[in-house]
Amino acid sequence: MSFDVAEVHFLTDNAPQITAATADLALSKKSMISDIAALRDTFGDQGRAVAELAGARRSVAGKLPQEWLLCHDSAQQTTPMAVSAERARRLKEALGEGVLVHDVTCSIGTEGHAVLDAGLHYLGSDIDMPRLLMAQFNLSLHPSSAASGGKPELLQADALVPATTGADVIIADPARRNNGRRITDPAQLLPPLPSLLETWSSTPIAVKCAPGVDFSGWQGLVSLASVDGGVKEACLYSPQLAQGETREAVVIRGDHLDCLNDLLEDGGGESLAREPGDFIIDPDGAIVRAGLVRHYAIREGLWMLDDRIAYLTGNRIPEGTSGFRFLEEVPLKKLKSALAALKAGSVEILVRGVDVDPDQLRKKLQLKGSAPFAVVVTRIGSRGVALICGPREFSSAATL
């Protein structure tokens, strides 16, 4: 549940007291009723709003500053700071110093912090006044705002009704869910992508979308970003913001950031399939969704198990990632007996290219040993196979 304007003003005016009063609350599902009751004793009718804020802050601990104002909805929708920082870096690289970035769906101000960190000028707008007020508070905490004593430039406006002119680039983040369901059709985003592009047709634009959106018709750059193994977004950049690439993967794991794009060598259509090496590698989801598995394989000195399946193999684990030491290949029907002979007690199961449910397979295996293993179930040529591996291993620079 979000806030109304009066609640945001209350949260802003009582920020220090709220931080102190919520610091030791459990804020779990079991304790929520008692937590809200305790907060009502302290804050009266605003106890619910304080509980909402405290719970939202707890849900993004380690991801967003704990002093920010946000609700659960905005916490779920906000872009990870590291992804916003990489976007701001790209905009600065493409357009130069001192450009004005207009974030037409600014929400609680995450992009604004990244833009200001990059030394660019920022203008934020949103149709939702409570979100705009939260952004105003959050952006006032940025060092540049505190140093100048000035307020960030924010205004209430519909993303499809330009309220200003002169911006060098537009950032937009249309709503990706409707009635709890993910939107995969760009025309169904809120606001619709075609309408956004028509509204801002004379200005370079970066549009954040869900990774599952059909971006096959996009003429500029599609950048897929992941954080700690989870794919977070696809950002559609107009051609002015790219340098000839059309697909990109931004892989962020802890402090390690890796970018690759379709300007890299991809093998020219030749087969990259060979027998398994020492390790089996499951490429990051951003690399897979961006269609850059072959580019990644060649860059890292790896090869493929099958040219149609996005598993890789090689004699090393790439820096900052993980992999599985390959032990043996067995037919799927012999997997249970093979794991029993190895005294397997637990198994991480990865499946691609074969219609197998990992949870159902794990139940059928009836493991009774104690040793940990991993199994990669996939298709090589016409064969459905199980690749038995040791437990997940991390490279020396991996951060997970």
The pLDDT tens digits of the residues spanning 131-147 come to: 999 999 999 999 887 55
pLDDT at 400: 45
Residue 272 lies in a domain: no
Looking at the fold, whether 33 and 95 belong to one and the same domain comes out as no
Task: Look up the domain containing 165 and give its range.
Answer: 81-214
Place of tokens 């951060």: 399
Angle, vertex CA 230, rays to CA 226 and CA 234, nearest 5: 45
Residue 240 lies in a domain: no
Q: End-to-end CA distance of the chain, in Å?
A: 32
Looking at the fold, whether 67 and 91 belong to one and the same domain comes out as no
> Do 40 and 33 meet the contact criterion of CB atoms below 8 Å apart?
no
> Do 399 and 370 meet the contact criterion of CB atoms below 8 Å apart?
no
**Strand arrangement, sheet containing 303-304:** 303-304, 312-314, 279-281, 322-331, 383-394, 371-380, 344-352
Length of the chain counted residue by residue: 400
Looking at the fold, whether 177 and 125 belong to one and the same domain comes out as yes
Domain boundary among 18, 51, 71: 71
Residue 166 lies in a domain: yes
> Do 390 and 376 meet the contact criterion of CB atoms below 8 Å apart?
no
Looking at the fold, whether 309 and 205 belong to one and the same domain comes out as no
Looking at the fold, whether 30 and 86 belong to one and the same domain comes out as no
Q: What are the phi and psi torsion angles at 235 (to 5°)?
A: -110, 125
Angle, vertex CA 13, rays to CA 10 and CA 14, nearest 5: 85
The pLDDT tens digits of the residues spanning 100-128 come to: 999 999 999 999 999 999 999 999 999 99
Q: From CA 8, how far away is CA 105, in angstroms rounded? A: 18
Q: What are the phi and psi torsion angles at 134 (to 5°)?
A: -65, -40
Domain boundary among 214, 235, 266: 214
Residue 257 lies in a domain: no
Largest Cα span, the chain = 70
Looking at the fold, whether 55 and 130 belong to one and the same domain comes out as no
Instruction: Give the whole-number percent of the chain exceeding pLDDT 70.
Output: 96
Q: The tokens of 162 are what?
A: 């330009």
Q: From CA 252, how far away is CA 258, in angstroms rounded? A: 6
Q: What are the phi and psi torsion angles at 397 (to 5°)?
A: -100, 5
Residue 231 lies in a domain: no
**What Å distances lie between residue 181 and 12, 30, 75, 80, 185, CA to CA?**
32, 27, 17, 21, 12
The pLDDT tens digits of the residues spanning 18-51 come to: 999 998 888 887 888 888 889 999 999 999 999 9
Looking at the fold, whether 110 and 60 belong to one and the same domain comes out as no
Strand bridging mode 322-331 / 279-281? antiparallel
The pLDDT tens digits of the residues spanning 192-225 come to: 999 999 999 999 999 999 898 888 889 999 999 9
> Do 250 and 83 meet the contact criterion of CB atoms below 8 Å apart?
yes
Residue 226 lies in a domain: no
Structure letter (DSSP) for residue 291? T
- Mean pLDDT over each residue of the chain, to the nearest integer: 92
What is the pTM (predicted TM-score) of this model? 0.91
Looking at the fold, whether 92 and 13 belong to one and the same domain comes out as no
Residue 53 lies in a domain: yes
Looking at the fold, whether 55 and 88 belong to one and the same domain comes out as no
- DSSP line for 244-286: S-SEEEEEEETTEEEEEETTS---TT---B-S--SEEE---HH
Domain count, the chain: 3
List CB contacts of 27: < 8 A, sequence separation 6 or more: 35, 51, 54, 55, 58
Q: Which long-range contacts (CB under 8 A, 24 or more apart) does 43-50 make?
A: 43/10, 43/14, 43/18, 46/7, 46/10, 46/11, 46/14, 49/3, 49/7, 49/10, 49/11, 50/11, 50/18, 50/21, 50/22
Domain boundary among 188, 214, 240: 214
Looking at the fold, whether 37 and 123 belong to one and the same domain comes out as no
Q: From CA 277, how far away is CA 312, in angstroms rounded? A: 9
Banded model confidence at residue 399, pLDDT cuts 50, 70, 90: very low
Element (H, E) at 295: helix 293-300
Residue 264 lies in a domain: no
Structure letter (DSSP) for residue 150? P
Mean pLDDT for 321-341 is 97
Looking at the fold, whether 356 and 291 belong to one and the same domain comes out as yes
Looking at the fold, whether 289 and 366 belong to one and the same domain comes out as yes
Mean pLDDT for 229-254 is 95
> Do 356 and 332 meet the contact criterion of CB atoms below 8 Å apart?
yes
